Amino acid sequence: MNETNDLTHFSAAGRARMVDVSEKSATRRVAIASGILRMQAATLERIRAGNIAKGNVLAVADVAAVMAAKRTSELIPMCHSLALSGVEVEFSEILVPDENGCVGIRVVTSATCTGQTGVEMEALCAASVALLTIYDMCKAIDRGMRIESVQLDEKRGGKSGLWRRADAIGKELR
């Protein structure tokens, strides 16, 4: 929430609206998001071994993340269309089982642009679609997979400057 506690995507009459950012200064903006897909250890091993019938899971998820970031404004109704200058995607394995015995894959995404509004939604869409793509490619062998902890870890730029989540699961992409 912003400091004045205003919800800027609503007009005075309470109607949803796209915020007018034309008076804002264009600055370099970066957002970092992350998320986890939990799965059976055998599923992670098959991903690692390249033994998934649909192909190279992480390569496809990487491309899906970039595509999602680029098309965010088509998915989120009040989101501005942005000219992204970069999208990065990193995957890492979580080998320590959780309370259900599941291991996982962590994704960390970053989106960058120079513009009048932030790229948080682009980074979050990229992380979400990367995880959904892995799920899609592996669901035939592990329908019990679960997506968790999709979150914004950091945003930089604009009037509010730097914000970092204290308990971020993702490492910083710079």
Q: What is the pLDDT of residue 106?
A: 97
Q: Are strands 163-164 and 84-94 parallel, antiparallel or unpaired?
A: unpaired
Q: 4 falls in which pLDDT band (50, 70, 90)?
A: very low
Region 52-78 average pLDDT: 95
Question: Is residue 161 over pLDDT 50?
Answer: yes
User: What is d(CA 127, CA 108) in angstroms, rounded to the nearest whole number?
Assistant: 7
Q: What is the pLDDT of residue 10?
A: 65
Catalytic residue among 136, 142, 153, 167: 136
pLDDT, tens digit, for every residue of 134-158?
999 999 999 999 999 999 999 999 8
Please indicate whether residue 171 or residue 135 has the higher confidence score (pLDDT).
135
Q: 11 falls in which pLDDT band (50, 70, 90)?
A: low
Q: 3-state class of 119 per DSSP? A: coil
* HSE (side-chain half, CA atoms, 13 Å) at 135: 18
Catalytic site includes residue 136: yes
Q: Any idea where the domains of the chain sit in the sequence?
A: 39-159
Q: What is the pLDDT of residue 18?
A: 72
The second-level CATH assignment, the architecture, of 39-159 is 2-Layer Sandwich (3.30)
With tokens 């190279």, the residue in question is: 56
Single-letter residue type at 45: E
Q: What is the pLDDT of residue 26?
A: 84
User: What is d(CA 39, CA 139) in angstroms, rounded to the nearest whole number?
Assistant: 10
Please indicate whether residue 144 or residue 5 has the higher confidence score (pLDDT).
144
